[in-house]
Amino acid sequence: GNSVTQMEGPVTLSEEAFLTINCTYTATGYPSLFWYVQYPGEGLQLLLKATKADDKGSNKGFEATYRKETTSFHLEKGSVQVSDSAVYFCALSDRSNAGNMLTFGGGTRLMVKP
Amino acid sequence: GAVVSQHPSWVICKSGTSVKIECRSLDFQATTMFWYRQFPKQSLMLMATSNEGSKATYEQGVEKDKFLINHASLTLSTLTVTSAHPEDSSFYICSAFGPRGDEQFFGPGTRLTVL
């Protein structure tokens, strides 16, 4: 079956530090990959996505590249801000699974200190 | 656009009672909605897929008689936790496919505490 593994948190960084949150996946088909962000007290929001190998998703300074050879989709940001403090979820959607249901990783809490 | 709301945002109930949680798509119609459960510091686990006008599809291990789902209109799905027990305490999140049908939009979640 499908699964997503991401690094455990919390990740604590100082403002303007470089961020990497690792994510690897296992899928039977050709999945689309996503990063969602959950700010305190809010629902999940789509941060970025990539639908095929070598695609790079980007949004709000965050980037992730779909690496089929390493089955990875690591999230990166060059300079984090306090406002980036949130929980980040890596997820996949297997196109072979009708309905595009999502499989989530365990989530990684990011805390950015001023 | 594509806003999903949930009500209530939090609820406390006594063991043995039933609790209904509503999920609404505010500015679009959603033929398919999803219900997730999130334990503290853990990921979202899909409970069921709710289809307008038909029975919900439950994931393996989810008791359909305990977690009743009704998707009676294109903008509303409800999850009723029947005869709630403390182990049902959790964060329940719904989502819906947006107007283009290729992205899920999530509600803010409902925190249920069963005493």
Q: Using one digit for the tens of pLDDT, what is the confidence trace for B39-75?
A: 877 788 999 999 888 889 999 999 999 999 999 899 9
Model confidence at B8: pLDDT above 90: yes
Contacts of B96 (CB under 8 A, 6+ apart): B4, B23, B25, B28, B30, B32, B33, B34, B77, B104, B105
DSSP-derived 3-state class of residue B86: helix
Residues on chain A touching B97 (C-beta within 8 angstroms) = 100
| pLDDT for residue A98 | 45
What pLDDT is recorded for position A49?
92
Return the residue of B nearest to A44 by Cα. Answer: B106
- Asked if residues A14 and A71 have their Cβ atoms less than 8 Å apart, the reply is no
Digit-coded pLDDT (tens) for A69-112:
999 999 999 999 999 999 999 999 876 544 567 889 999 999 99
Which residues on B lie below 8 Å from A102 (Cβ)? 34, 46, 104
- 3-state SS assignment for residue B87: helix
Q: What pLDDT sits at residue A100?
A: 65
* Inter-chain CB pairs, A–B, below 8 Å: 39
Residue B31: pLDDT band (50, 70, 90) is: confident
pLDDT score of A40: 83
Query: Rounded CA gap, B73 and B11, in Å?
Result: 24
Span A18-40, average pLDDT: 92
Chain B interface, best mutation among A101, A103, A110, by max B CB count within 10 A: A101
